[in-house]
């Protein structure tokens, strides 16, 4: 902010050098007034996937417009932050301050196009997103049961349809009742709440809340607005000249009960999801306990028999064990000579497992850092930036796992394996992302990634991730193949006729049900944060669900693998990957259900974008869950065939 005395200049410079913060303003301790800058972000809608920049809607612009630097995550999410003409002095109330007047002249094509775009935005309920001191300026209003909801955005206007039905925000005012008419919110009453530190041993003040109330007011005299009167109507038919005067009011309120460290709480508390989250956790824990009991029973049974056989407890036990062995000779022991036979398409499986390992480690570290508070909503774009950087740096474990498993499968085309590990799955994601970006670019959306950012992403991929994948593959191929506990027969054993439940497809379909049952409630809130633009902050719950998903995928895959081995079907390599990976198919089905039941998205472009980005999420989740199931089953099979000595 601009200092107002010579001493403030020195203090401001020192503060900026020591503490670098993009949006935080420095309140001069020697001056009464300090200029507060309001920033504007992109505008988005729940009825459209296409966000737009603030200037596209022909609002009042800042004469000295500047854009703060944005991190990679903000650019990928389409955030476009810039200064606004809303500037006010600290502790100086303002009543009905004129900002600018927009005039739309009938007969001018450019004016008609701008007004049509503004009306289209009101029809689709596009929302402003304003920022003060890195805090979202919220619109708080009453909802059911006397609760108050604080929305980090507010609409640009609303519409009364041709049949007299008030849409969206038009329901808040009975004066919005003219049919086939738009009402633009051209006045905002802003309230800034601050914490005064004079009584706590430090001088100055800290902003702890920023709220506003949008209003539609028709000012007859644009030179001397009163901010009172009838709503500002924008007729559906542009048959006469139109003037829209934008105004604002500012009030300051002192509240020393709110600490600066907890200033986001009033927004987060208004989202009462804690009870639902605990229900989800308890539901998931019941599933985990059930599966754990089943796996423990299988393991203890095999271990008990092995110990009893070699310790020779007594003759009765020997008779029982001989009888059980005779009964089980047609089970999983019969396939000990084929259970480690290399799978078909071992190259593709090893590539998927390498990429899945990379995604698993990236997800674990990202969620762990988020739980510690490093990736909170206050750090805009930090979550996506952290994920991308971690993915780039984790090319080494991807190459190592893929190469080591491919060598275990007996593969010899190591160059092809390394190239596919480095390029196949990331290439599919980038191709999908590039096509979605072309649609955004054609539609003029702010979410379109600049060409320079695309080049930077490619540089990170080919300049860092690919070389690290080659390094990991080098060490993976240097290592010997994973030693198996039993030898593989030269002639494959014939698999007997399988029942319906032990056939591959039914088993794979059933395998994804329980893991999906553990995450579908959390998935609802994640989809809300992505597509309904709600703030997500429950990373502690998400990390706990992540651990539960890890355990559930492992145990469900182990159980189904054991049942198939007992049915003398030894093709478990791909089946273990697909069993838990099928959870991604349920995720896609749920995303389709969410699209048709929860969202009001209209337009072909928005629909293509929704399913395009959902496909990326499904592919990543498929690799993630499939890798978990494979390594769990791999450990289980090695364990039972090494502990129980097969003659």
pLDDT of residue 392: 94
Confidence of residue 16 (pLDDT cuts 50, 70, 90): very low
What is the rounded CA–CA span in Å between residue 294 and residue 317? 24
Residue 38 belongs to a domain: yes
User: Whole-angstrom Cα distance, residue 144 to residue 606?
Assistant: 31
**Has residue 76 been placed in a domain?**
yes
- Cβ neighbors of 278 (< 8 A, separation 6 or more) are none
- The two tokens of residue 574 are 């791909």
Angle between helices 346-371 and 395-408 (to 10 degrees): 150
Q: How remote is the C-alpha of 156 from its chain's centroid?
A: 26
- Whether the pLDDT of residue 338 is over 90: the answer is no
Q: What is the pLDDT of residue 189?
A: 92
Determine the average pLDDT of the residues in 509-535. 84
User: Model confidence over 94-128: pLDDT tens digits?
Assistant: 888 888 888 899 888 898 999 999 999 999 999 99
Using the CB atoms, write b or e for 150-181: b if 16+ within 10 Å: bbbbbbbbbbbeeeeebebbbeeeeebeeeeb
In a domain, 196, yes or no: yes
Which residue range(s) make up the domain with 220? 31-270
Question: What totals of helices (H) and strands (E) does the chain contain, helices first?
Answer: 18, 18
The C-alpha atoms of residue 76 and residue 518 are separated, in whole angstroms, by 29
Name the burial class of residue 600, with classes exposed (0-12), middle (13-18) and buried (19+) by CB atoms within 10 angstroms of its CB: exposed
Residue 220, pLDDT > 50, answer yes
Which residues have CB under 8 Å from 246's CB, separation 6+?
59, 60, 98, 99, 100, 101, 102, 186, 187
* Other Cβ atoms within 10 Å of 329 Cβ, number: 9
Q: Residue 571 — very low, low, confident or very high, per pLDDT cuts 50/70/90?
A: confident
CA atoms within 13 A on the CB side of 519: 28
Assigned token pair, 239: 């048959």
Give the pLDDT confidence score for residue 299 in this predicted structure.
Answer: 63
Q: Is 331 helix (H, G, I), strand (E, B) or coil?
A: coil
202: its two tokens: 């430090």
Distance in angstroms (rounded) separating the CA atoms of residues 373 and 196: 26
Q: What is the pLDDT of residue 539?
A: 85
Number of domains in the chain: 1
Query: Under a CB-based contact definition with an 8 Å cutoff, are residues 99 and 162 in contact?
Result: no
Does residue 188 lie within any of the structural domains?
yes
> Is 161 in contact with 179 (CB distance < 8 Å)?
yes
Least confident of 195-209, 235-249, 619-633: 195-209
The Cα–Cα gap between 151 and 470 comes to 47
Quick: pLDDT tens for 410-453.
888 889 999 999 999 999 999 999 999 999 999 888 888 888 88
Q: Starting from the edge strand earliest in sequence, which strands make up the sheet with 82-89, in order? A: 82-89, 35-40, 130-132, 135-136
pLDDT at 72: 85
For residue 9, pLDDT beyond 80: no
The predicted pLDDT at position 361 comes to: 96
Give DSSP secondary structure letters for 372-385: TTTT-TTSTTHHHH
Sign of CA dihedral 382, 376, 551, 526: negative
Lowest mean pLDDT among 283-292, 376-385, 481-490, 559-568: 283-292
Q: Is residue 345 part of a domain?
A: no
Q: Which two tokens stand for residue 15?
A: 């503060």
Long-range contact set of residues 542-546: C-beta below 8 Å, sequence gap at least 24? 542/367, 542/370, 543/367, 543/368, 543/370, 543/371, 544/281, 545/280, 545/281, 545/284, 545/518, 545/519, 546/363, 546/364, 546/367
Strands 82-89 and 35-40: antiparallel
**pLDDT for residue 301:** 66
Bridge partners for 36 per DSSP = 88
Residue 199 lies in a domain: yes
Q: What is the pLDDT of residue 276?
A: 61
What confidence tens digit (pLDDT) does each residue in 303-330 have?
A: 565 555 545 544 445 544 444 554 444 4
- The answer to whether 520 and 592 have CB atoms below 8 angstroms apart is no
Domain-embedded: residue 176: yes
Asked if residue 474 has pLDDT above 50, the reply is yes
Burial class (CB in 10 A: 0-12, 13-18, 19+), 310: exposed
DSSP, residue by residue, 234-256:
EESS--S-EEEEEEEEEEEEE-T
Res. 31 pLDDT band, cuts 50 70 90: very low
Confidence of residue 598 (pLDDT cuts 50, 70, 90): confident
What was the pLDDT predicted at 15? Answer: 43
From its phi and psi, is residue 643 left (phi > 0), alpha (psi between -120 and 50) or beta? Answer: alpha
Tens digit of each residue's pLDDT (9 = 90 or more) over 267-295: 776 665 655 666 667 767 777 777 777 77
480-496 average pLDDT score: 81
Of 339, 295, 298, 332, give the one whose Cα is nearest residue 567. Answer: 332
Q: Given a cut of 70, is residue 188 above it in pLDDT?
A: yes
For the residues of 246-292, what is the DSSP string, one character each? EEEEEEEEE-TTS-GGGTTHHHHTTS--HHHHHHHHHHHHHHHHHHH
3-class DSSP state of 174: coil
Whole-prediction pTM: 0.84
pLDDT at residue 300 in the model: 67
Residue 24: predicted pLDDT:
38
Task: Please give the pLDDT value at position 302.
Answer: 59
Out of 51-60, 287-296, 561-570, give the one with best mean pLDDT: 51-60
Q: Give the pairing of strands 242-254 and 187-196.
A: parallel
How many degrees, rounded to 5, is the angle at CA 453 between CA 449 and CA 458?
A: 115
Q: Other C-beta atoms within 10 Å of 437: how many?
A: 21
Domain membership of residue 53 (yes or no) is yes
Residue partners of 473: CB distance under 8 A and separation at least 6: 399, 400, 402, 403, 414, 417, 418, 421
């Amino acid at each position: 902010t601009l200092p107002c005395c010579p001493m403030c200049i020195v203090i401001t410079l020192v503060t900026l050098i020591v503490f670098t913060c993009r949006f935080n303003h420095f309140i001069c301790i020697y001056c009464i007034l300090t200029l507060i800058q309001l920033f504007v972000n992109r505008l988005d809608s729940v009825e459209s996937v296409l966000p737009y920049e603030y200037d596209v809607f022909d609002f009042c612009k800042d004469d000295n417009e500047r854009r703060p630097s944005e991190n990679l995550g903000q650019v990928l999410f389409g955030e476009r932050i810039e200064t606004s003409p809303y500037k006010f002095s600290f502790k100086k109330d303002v009543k009905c301050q004129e900002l600018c007047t927009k005039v739309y002249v009938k007969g001018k094509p450019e004016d008609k196009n701008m007004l049509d775009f503004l009306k289209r935005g009101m029809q689709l309920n596009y929302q402003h997103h304003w920022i003060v001191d890195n805090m979202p300026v919220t619109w708080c209003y009453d909802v059911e049961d006397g609760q108050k909801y604080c929305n980090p955005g507010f609409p640009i206007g609303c519409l009364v349809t041709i049949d007299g039905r008030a849409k969206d925000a038009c329901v808040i005012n009975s004066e919005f009742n003219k049919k086939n008419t738009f009402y633009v919110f051209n006045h905002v009453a802003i309230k800034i709440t601050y914490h005064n530190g004079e009584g706590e041993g430090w001088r100055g003040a800290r902003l702890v809340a920023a709220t506003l109330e949008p209003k539609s007011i028709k000012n007859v005299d644009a030179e001397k607005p009163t901010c009172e009167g009838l709503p500002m109507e924008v007729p559906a038919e542009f048959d006469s000249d139109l003037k829209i005067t934008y105004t604002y009011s500012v009030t300051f309120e002192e509240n020393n009960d709110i600490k600066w460290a907890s200033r986001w709480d009033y927004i987060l508390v208004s989202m009462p999801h804690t009870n639902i989250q605990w229900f989800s956790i308890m539901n998931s824990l019941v599933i985990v306990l059930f599966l754990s009991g089943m796996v423990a029973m299988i393991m203890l049974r095999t271990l008990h028999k092995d110990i009893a056989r070699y310790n020779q407890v007594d003759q009765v036990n020997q008779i029982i064990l001989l009888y059980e062995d005779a009964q089980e000779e047609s089970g999983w022991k019969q396939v000990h000579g084929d259970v480690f036979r290399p799978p078909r398409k071992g190259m593709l499986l090893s590539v998927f497992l390498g990429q899945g390992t990379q995604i698993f480690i990236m997800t674990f570290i990202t969620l762990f850092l988020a739980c510690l508070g490093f990736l909170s909503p206050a750090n805009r774009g930090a979550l996506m930036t952290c994920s991308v950087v971690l993915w780039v740096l984790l090319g080494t474990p991807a190459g190592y796992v893929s190469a080591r498993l491919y060598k275990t499968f007996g593969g010899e085309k190591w160059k092809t394996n390394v190239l596919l590990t480095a390029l196949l799955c990331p290439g599919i994601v980038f191709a999908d992302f590039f096509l979605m970006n072309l649609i955004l670019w054609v539609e003029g959306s702010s979410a379109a990634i600049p060409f320079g950012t695309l080049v930077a992403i490619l540089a990170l991929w080919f300049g860092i991730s690919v070389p690290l994948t080659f390094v990991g593959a080098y060490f993976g191929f240097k290592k010997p193949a994973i030693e198996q506990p039993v030898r593989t027969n030269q002639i494959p054993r014939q698999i007997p006729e399988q029942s319906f439940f032990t056939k591959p497809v039914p088993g794979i379909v059933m395998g994804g049900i329980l893991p999906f049952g553990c995450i579908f409630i959390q998935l609802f809130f994640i989809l809300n944060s992505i597509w309904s633009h709600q703030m997500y902050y429950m990373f502690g719950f998400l990390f706990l669900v992540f651990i539960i998903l890890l355990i559930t995928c492992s145990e469900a895959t182990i159980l189904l693998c054991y049942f198939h081995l007992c049915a003398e079907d030894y093709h478990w390599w791909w089946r273990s990957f697909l069993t838990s990976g099928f959870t991604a198919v349920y995720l896609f089905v749920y995303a389709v259900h969410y699209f048709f039941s929860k969202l009001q998205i209209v337009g072909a472009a928005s629909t293509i974008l929704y399913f395009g980005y959902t496909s990326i999420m499904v592919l990543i989740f498929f690799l993630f869950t499939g890798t978990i199931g494979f390594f769990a089953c791999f450990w289980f099979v090695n364990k039972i065939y090494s502990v129980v000595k097969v003659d």
